[in-house]
Amino acid sequence: MSSAPDTSSAPATPKQQDLLSKLAGEPQMFGRAFLVAAVVIAGLTIGAAGWWAKLQMWPIGLAGTILTVTFLVAGLERLFYKPPTGTELDVARLLVMMIGGFSGLALALGALLLGWFWWDNILNWLNAEGPGEKSWRALLVLFLMVLGLGVMFVSLQLGRTVERTNAVVRRILYGYNTALASLLLVSILLVLNVILAVRGKIPIDFTHAGRFSLSERTQSVLKGLNKPVEIISVSGNRDALVEQDVRDMLAMCRLYSDKVRIDELNVHLERTRAEELKGKYPKLDLGCLVVLYDNGKAHEVIPVEELSKPSNRGGPRNPMGPGPQDFTGEGALLATLISLIEGKQKSLVYFTQDFNELSLADSNPNAQFERGCGLLMAELVKQNYEVKPLKFDPIDPKVPADAGAVVVAGPRVPFSSAAIKALRDYMAKGGKLLIMLGAFADGEDPKTMVRTGLEPFLQEYNVGAPRERLLSLKLRGSFDLEPLDVMAIMNLELETNPVVAPFRERRFKFTNCRPLEAMPPLGAGRWQAQTLMLSISFSFPQADFSAAPGAVVEDLRRDEGVFRKKFEEIQQRGPIPLVVAVSESSRDPRDPHAAMRGPQPGKPRMVVFGTVSPATNQMVSQNRFAAPLIASCLDYLRERQTGVGGPPPKQQDIYEPQPKTDDQLWRMVLLPPVLIVVSILGLGTGVWIVRRR
């Protein structure tokens, strides 16, 4: 009993049969044609990779190599391989499937790589402001992807006619189907990523260093732009890592403002334009950024040296490079934008230098602790501040009229009554004060804290500063603190204060602290004092300086009853204010109903720290958020519309994921397993369908 013939597969069309017959019947002619095609494609690949763009060398090289090898193998097969009699059409069919499949694969992979390199241009093409001058790149990627997938699909149709009768063709066909499905999946994911990138706008940054996000301060500057800004990135520098960080930063800048336009200039490809810009901006060099403000009416060039600097974190050095680097481009760009927005007019900040305060001339981070603040001055200069020392005239002490703010950083001897009067007169004229006290022993009586003379002055503004120092208990499972260290965080109840938001998730370790008190105003008082930062360590005040801090803590630990009593006392007292902000109320004190209306938003006038440690060279060099904290307080006092919370350097060689919120944590924990399960189910379903066929 003979079995019925298999009629489930459609026969080949006349055109397909004619093509296969010619390919099988004239192998020498087609072999030579394929070899010529391989040579031509190889030449075009080499020429295009060197002539078109070094940046596109990988996509062109990959696609060209696959096509060259494909036609080379096809030519050699036609010239030297003689299939068994009766199988000529089957071999020709396999050859056409191979050429079509690998040609389509080459085009599709090349398109994917081009899409990777031209990601910004693809996003521009979909943005609301328009496609821009390089929109053809997105269209080219789309065209090559569709063409490659189409070629693969068409070439596979030749195998459908013998799918059930030829095991080799069936295996190849299923392999091609798998590759085609994978490319379609990648294309779908690419489209979804593009849509999310354009519509979702702000990315989620899981990195510890915040490499793919901008600081609150930079975001505020960008959102507040009311004039167009064009940033030209001059690429071609040897440091590819810095260039990639610059691209990431500029891409994020565009997400926060439609006033920002990004342009990349490759000096190796656009020599004529580079020379024109060099004549227009003499400081232009490889790797720099040219920032044009208000349609080019003002500009600034950021040299490549300001975009990164050697890290002070140590670590293994790269034998092929300069070692660990920190990306400082965001800070440099922010300072430049602020300078252009403010018309390059720097705000003048004076540091008092008459009463043994931190020295502006000392920039040594390894010198005696709490003696210099030169590094802080350098950071403030980068933030468009001009810093000068203030030495009062002994006969007629006054604060200069051009002072944008006055900083008192850690006085160790009492202020004179004349200097206090100068500060009081300055405040009466609308001045701004940043006062940083410290827990220092009196030079004449080492058993007590020094009288700075500022304590009665601060009480006039409802800020209490008792002459005590804070000591911390070192508890198991708690912070690793020395007796004079205190851990501090922002007061999250002050959400409206612009200093809080940039540092709401930061912890600061201060040293030599004294407690402060934000006293309530009397009636419809003029001054409103609010606690800006609080202690979170187990700290307690102590007025007696006769004993060493370590000895005091050890004495407490020796007696369990005394220690427990002190611990309960600390818990009962609660967090201790360490930083207090003072604002001038806008309500009229003559209004009899003013007190009933409660506190009203006022004008920032003063910030008082119970420690000077954030301004010291040691802290600025070791804690990348110390200088931004001081700068943010100065910005708050000056009511700068550019926002606060300066960007610290970003560590280039650290990729440790560190979720900052519970939402990010769940995405990191749940999303990968869900994707794995979906992938397994999809593959299993595909295998089941194939086996059923």
For residue 254, CA distances in Å to 216, 297, 306 come to 15, 20, 21
CB of 64 within 8 A of CB of 44? yes
Q: Is the pLDDT of residue 423 over 70?
A: yes
Three-state DSSP string of 638-689: HCCCCCCCCCCCEECCCCCECCCCHHHHHHHHHHHHHHHHHHHHHHHHHHHH
Give the angle subtended at the CA of 351 by the CAs of 349 and 357, to the nearest 5°. Answer: 160
- Please, are residues 500 and 492 in contact by the beta-carbon 8 Å criterion? yes
Q: Are residues 430 and 555 both part of a single domain?
A: yes
pLDDT tens-digit readout, 195-206: 666 555 666 676
Residue 222 burial class via C-beta count within 10 angstroms: exposed 0-12, middle 13-18, buried 19 and up = buried
pLDDT for res 4: 39
Q: In the structure, what pLDDT confidence band is assigned to residue 642 with cuts at 50, 70 and 90?
A: very low
| Tokens 């020709």, located at residue | 92
Residues 489 and 366 in one domain: yes
Of 174, 200, 226, the residue that ends a domain is 200
Cβ 662 vs Cβ 518: under 8 Å: no
Q: Are 373 and 626 in contact (CB under 8 A)?
A: no
Distance, in Å, from the CA atom of 549 to the CA atom of 483, rounded to the nearest integer, reads 6
Which pLDDT score is estimated for 498? 81
Q: What CA–CA distance (Å, rounded) separates 575 from 556?
A: 20
Res 388: pLDDT: 94
Backbone φ and ψ of 393, nearest 5°: -65, 125
Smallest CA-to-CA distance from 488 within 612, 409, 577, 370 is with 577
Please check whether residues 233 and 375 belong to one and the same domain.
Answer: no
Q: Of 182, 200, 218, which marks where a domain is finished?
A: 200
pLDDT at site 202 = 64
254 and 133, same domain (yes or no): no
Note whether 526 and 419 are same-domain residues. Answer: yes
Q: Are residues 374 and 434 in the same domain?
A: yes
CA-based end-to-end distance of the chain: 25
Residue 166: per-residue pLDDT: 67
Confidence of residue 560 (pLDDT cuts 50, 70, 90): confident
Residue 651 and residue 663 in one domain: no
In a domain, 394, yes or no: yes
CATH number of the domain encompassing residue 218: 3.40.30.10
Average per-residue pLDDT for the chain: 80
Place of tokens 């080219």: 140
What does the alpha-carbon distance between residue 435 and residue 8 come to, in Å, rounded to a whole number?
A: 89
CA distance linking residue 262 with residue 254, whole number of Å: 8
- Establish if 555 belongs to a structural domain: yes
Q: In what order do the strands lie in the sheet with 229-235?
A: 260-266, 229-235, 289-293, 298-302
Distance CA(267)–CA(237), nearest Å, equals 9
Is 646 in the same domain as 602? Answer: no
Is 677 domain-assigned? yes
What is the pLDDT averaged over residues 14-35?
79
Could you tell me the residue range of the domain that residue 642 belongs to? 207-313+325-344+624-655
Residue 406 has pLDDT above 70, yes or no: yes
The residue with greater pLDDT, 154 or 658, is 154
- d(C-alpha 570, C-alpha 564), whole Å: 10
Compute the C-alpha angle 614/650/223, nearest 5°.
Answer: 90
Can you tell me the distance from the alpha carbon of 574 to that of 563, in angstroms, rounded to the nearest whole number? 17
Q: Is the pLDDT at 666 greater than 60, yes or no?
A: yes
Residue 540 lies inside a defined structural domain of this protein: yes
Domain of 494, CATH number, reads 3.40.50
Q: Which of 21-25, 34-38, 398-402, 525-529 has the lowest mean pLDDT?
A: 21-25
pLDDT bin (cut points 50, 70, 90) of residue 10 is: very low
In 3D, which of 374, 373, 432, 370 has the Cα closest to residue 399?
432
* 3 state SS of 265: strand
**Whole-prediction pTM:** 0.58
Specify the pLDDT at position 148: 85
pLDDT at 663: 62
| Separation CA 639–CA 630 (nearest Å) | 14
Query: What 3-state class would DSSP assign to 481?
Result: coil
Asked if residue 383 has pLDDT above 50, the reply is yes
Q: Is 8 inside any structural domain?
A: no
Model confidence at 657: pLDDT above 70:
no
Domain for residue 6, yes or no?
no
Q: Characterize the bridge pairing of strands 603-609 and 433-436.
A: parallel
> Is residue 470 assigned to a domain?
yes
Report the alpha-carbon distance of residue 379 to residue 616 in Å, rounded. 12
Whether residues 490 and 400 share a domain: the answer is yes
Residue 405, C-beta contacts closer than 8 angstroms, at least 6 positions apart: 347, 349, 350, 431, 432, 433, 434, 634, 637, 638
Under 8 Å CB-to-CB from 476, ≥6 apart: which residues?
Answer: none
The answer to whether residue 24 sits within a structural domain is yes
Tell me what the mean pLDDT of segment 547-567 comes to.
86
Q: Which helix (H) or strand (E) holds 385?
A: strand 385-390
Element holding 164 (H helix, E strand): none
Number of domains in the chain: 4
Task: Give residue 183's pLDDT band: very low, low, confident or very high (50, 70, 90).
Answer: low
Could you tell me if 192 and 128 lie in one domain?
yes
Please say which residue of 157, 174, 200 terminates a domain.
200
224 and 293 together in one domain: yes
- Measured distance CA(203)–CA(170) in Å, rounded: 44
- Tokens, residue 94: 């396999």
For residue 168, which amino acid is it?
A: V
Residue 321 has pLDDT above 90, yes or no: no
CB of 215 within 8 A of CB of 643? no
3-class DSSP state of 529: strand
CA proximity to 664, closest of 184, 207, 350 = 207
Q: For residue 167, with 0-12 CB atoms within 10 Å meaning exposed, 13-18 middle and 19 or more buried, which class applies?
A: exposed
Q: Are residues 195 and 211 in the same domain?
A: no
Cα 309 to its chain centre, rounded Å, is 16
Distance CA 690, CA 162 (A): 16
The closest of 108, 271, 249 to 183, measured between CA atoms, is 108
668 falls in which pLDDT band (50, 70, 90)?
Answer: low
